[in-house]
Amino acid sequence: MPDMNEIHAFIIGFSEVLCPWPSRYRIAKEQWDELIKEFPYYTAGRGAGFIALLLVLAGMAKFILEVLL
């Protein structure tokens, strides 16, 4: 079972990609050092966030096309 640092790294990676605009929160150096220790979870979160973003955009496009046509 993943510990809280691994889950936190995954959520940070997921959130950075799913939300396409720059965040208002900057990661402090101490937090970044902890995040790098869990880098595989961070990159997995970024990958999952990208896939989720594509699915959201595809769903929005399909909805718009159905409403307009």
Q: What is the pTM of this model?
A: 0.76
The yes-or-no verdict on residue 1 having pLDDT over 70 is no
pLDDT tens-place string over residues 4-62: 888 988 998 898 888 877 767 777 888 888 778 888 998 999 999 999 999 999 999 99
Using CB atoms within 10 Å of the CB of residue 9, give its burial: 0 to 12 exposed, 13 to 18 middle, 19+ buried. Answer: buried
What pLDDT is recorded for position 17?
A: 87
- What is the domain partition of the chain in residue ranges? 4-68
- Determine the Cα–Cα distance for residues 52 and 15; give it in Å rounded to an integer: 10
Using CB atoms within 10 Å of the CB of residue 42, give its burial: 0 to 12 exposed, 13 to 18 middle, 19+ buried. Answer: buried
What pLDDT is recorded for position 65?
A: 93
